[in-house]
């Protein structure tokens, strides 16, 4: 669905379960690949955007967060504090809540990361995300589509570019360039990306601007 | 604090995967894509924010001035930012903040990586430098291992987890 993605195979639950163990319980297909690649974005003032006469998207929320650098330094390792803090700031600035988000690009370097992310971002209550994913809530036609681009595991993870690649996906979605992976009627999107095991994170919220 | 509205005018990407071009060529391809999609020329860019982690693996660090020079805007200031796998979003936030603060009207936010040519073993070692290496990577806890420990905790009933956590804490105190 994404011509620029690293992995183009259709992968079933069975394929994942049959792939070799990397670090139990994670199997090879629970992990993202090492990728090469680059993504870029042009950010500008509202005046500059209006003068351009082109379609643009407003960045309505921006948040940063931090966590203890090592996993052992954390009180609870089923949540990533930097995500929680960055999301809280971004939601507050944007004046929206998780239920207002039409789709999100999240940091799914491993399957467990995506589960923890979508709980920390407030899309699902703690401990409920795995079941919600199984029930299809995060699919393209689900209640909150997650990673329409394919995410880190399919689109790929060129680590310095990943966070900008998520922004490029929002741009393609909101400007009608996402083809068959388009999230219908989407107007507000969220991007979430963290470093290492979540020592640093940033969350951004975007709003489609209707051209008058 | 009052800040100015910030808009996303264009964005673009190269293919992700195993690429043969140099890291600078990869970066420039995405930059050109982004500039074209915004309908601007490089001359309109007032600052560049570049995120990258392993430039050293392709013999290029201090990447921002190299990219700005190759875009034909060598006198426009650039900044290279590293925050491991979060580099792209952390850099984007700095680009955002500088436009929001009114320092610039138009900036380039560009992330790039090239590691696959180093092979899986070398890439795994390089990535482990992004962990708290003294405690984690240096003791063999690579990222799959660290996330596996998070997965195990997630799958463990709360009561058991609290007990494990208390045991670990008491052990730490004894060691401390």
Q: Please state, as a whole number, how many other Cβ atoms lie within 10 Å of the Cβ of residue A97.
A: 10
Test the A interface: residue of B13, B24, B123, B169 with most A CBs within 10 Å = B13
Instruction: pLDDT band for A207, please (50, 70, 90 cuts).
Output: very high
In percent, the amount of chain B with pLDDT more than 90 equals 87
Please indicate whether, in this complex, the C-beta atoms of A26 and B116 are within 8 angstroms of each other.
no
Chain A residues inside the 8 Å CB shell of B41: none
Cβ contact, residue pair B13, A37, below 8 Å: yes
* Helix, strand and coil in chain B, % to nearest 5: 50, 15, 30
Backbone angles phi, psi at B8, to 5 degrees: -100, 115
SS3 A123: coil
CB contact under 8 A, B153 and A200: no
pLDDT mean across residues, chain A: 96
Q: Do A39 and B88 touch (CB under 8 A)?
A: yes
d(CA B111, CA A137): 30
Q: Residue B93: its pLDDT value, please?
A: 98
The two tokens of residue A126 are: 């703690």
Whether residue A45 and residue B4 make contact (CB cut-off 8 A), yes or no, is: yes
- Check CB contact of B59 with chain A, cutoff 8 Å: no
pLDDT at B167 over 70: no
Q: Under 8 Å CB-to-CB from A167, ≥6 apart: which residues?
A: A39, A41, A191, A204, A206, B8, B11, B88, B92, B109
State yes or no: ipTM above 0.90: yes
User: For A100-146, what is each residue's pLDDT tens digit?
Assistant: 999 999 999 999 999 999 999 999 999 999 999 999 999 999 999 99
Name chain B contacts of A78, Cβ cutoff 8 Å.
150, 153-154, 161
Binary contact (B88, A56; C-beta < 8 A):
no
The Cα–Cα gap between B66 and B71 comes to: 9
Separation between Cα atoms, residue A8 and residue A2, nearest integer Å: 8
> Is A212 a residue whose pLDDT tops 60?
no
Cα-Cα-Cα-Cα torsion B62, B137, A111, A23, nearest 10 degrees, comes to: 150
Residue of B nearest to A29 (CA): B144
- Closest chain B residue by Cα to residue A23: B145
HSE of A206 in the Cβ direction (CA atoms, 13 Å)?
A: 29
> A135 by DSSP, 3-state: which?
coil
Give the B window 65-124 contacts with A, CB below 8 Å: 82-93, 95-97, 99-100, 102, 105-117, 120, 123
Neighbours of B176 (CB within 10 A): 5
B118-146 pLDDT per residue, tens: 999 999 999 999 999 999 999 999 999 99
- Chain B segment 28-47 residues within 8 A of A by beta carbon are 29-31, 33-35, 37-40, 45
Question: Which pLDDT score, from 0 to 100, does residue B174 have?
Answer: 61
Q: Which residue has the higher pLDDT, B159 or A164?
A: A164
Reported as a single tens digit per residue, the pLDDT across B65-122 is: 999 999 999 999 999 999 999 999 999 999 999 999 999 999 999 999 999 999 999 9
- Which ranges of chain B does DSSP label H, i.e. alpha helix? 23-38, 63-70, 87-100, 119-128, 143-155, 158-175
> Helices (DSSP H) in chain A: which residue ranges?
13-18, 46-52, 81-94, 111-120, 129-134, 151-154, 162-174
Residue labelled with tokens 């009180």: A75
- The pLDDT value recorded for residue B176 is 45
Residue B17: what are its φ and ψ, rounded to 5°? 145, -140
- Chain A residues lying within 8 Å of B86, measured CB to CB: 107, 163, 193-196, 200-202
DSSP string, A150-187: -HHHHT---TTTHHHHHHHHHHHHHTT--GGG--TT--
Q: 3-class SS at B98?
A: helix
In this prediction, residue B170 has a pLDDT band, given cuts at 50, 70 and 90, of low
Contact B109, B95 (CB under 8 A): yes
* Mean pLDDT within A176-191: 97
Q: Report the pLDDT value the prediction gives residue A140, as an integer from 0 to 100.
A: 95
- Tell me how crowded residue A210 is: count the other CB atoms within 10 A of its CB: 7
Contact A38 B27 (CB under 8 A): yes
Query: pLDDT grade, residue A210 (50/70/90)?
Result: confident
Asked if B17's CB is within 8 angstroms of A23's CB, the reply is: no
């Amino acid at each position: 669905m994404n011509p620029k993605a690293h992995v183009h195979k259709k992968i079933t639950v069975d394929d994942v379960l049959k792939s070799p163990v990397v670090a139990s319980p994670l199997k090879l297909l629970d992990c993202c690949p090492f990728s090469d690649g680059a993504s870029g974005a042009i950010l500008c003032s509202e005046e500059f955007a209006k003068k351009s006469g082109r379609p643009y998207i407003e960045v309505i929320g921006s948040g940063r967060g931090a966590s203890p650098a090592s996993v052992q330094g954390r009180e609870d390792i089923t949540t990533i504090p930097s995500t929680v803090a960055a999301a809280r700031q971004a939601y507050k600035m944007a004046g929206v809540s998780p239920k207002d988000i039409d789709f999100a690009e999240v940091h799914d370097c491993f399957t467990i990361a995506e589960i923890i992310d979508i709980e920390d971002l407030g899309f699902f209550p703690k401990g409920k995300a795995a079941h919600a994913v199984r029930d299809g809530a995060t699919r393209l036609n689900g209640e909150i589509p997650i990673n329409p681009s394919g995410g880190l595991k399919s689109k790929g993870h060129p680590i310095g570019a990943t966070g900008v690649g998520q922004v490029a996906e929002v741009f393609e979605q909101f400007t009608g360039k996402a083809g068959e992976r388009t999230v219908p009627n989407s107007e507000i999107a969220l991007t979430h990306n963290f470093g290492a095991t979540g020592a640093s994170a940033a969350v951004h919220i975007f709003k489609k601007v209707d051209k008058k | 604090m009052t800040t100015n509205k910030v808009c996303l005018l264009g964005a673009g990407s190269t293919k992700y995967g195993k690429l043969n071009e140099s890291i600078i060529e990869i970066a420039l391809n995405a930059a050109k894509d982004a500039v074209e999609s915004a309908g601007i020329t490089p001359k309109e860019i007032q600052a560049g924010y570049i995120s990258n982690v392993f430039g050293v693996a392709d013999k290029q660090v201090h990447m921002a001035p190299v990219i700005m020079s190759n875009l034909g805007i060598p006198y426009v200031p650039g900044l290279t930012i590293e925050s491991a796998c979060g580099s792209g979003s952390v850099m984007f936030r700095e680009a955002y903040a500088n436009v929001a603060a009114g320092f610039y009207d138009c900036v380039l936010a560009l992330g790039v990586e090239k590691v696959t040519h180093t092979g899986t073993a070398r890439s795994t070692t390089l990535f482990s430098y992004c962990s708290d290496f003294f405690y984690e990577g240096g003791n063999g806890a690579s990222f799959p291992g660290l996330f596996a420990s998070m997965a195990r905790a997630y799958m463990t009933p709360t009561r058991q987890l609290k007990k494990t956590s208390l045991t670990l804490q008491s052990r730490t105190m004894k060691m401390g």
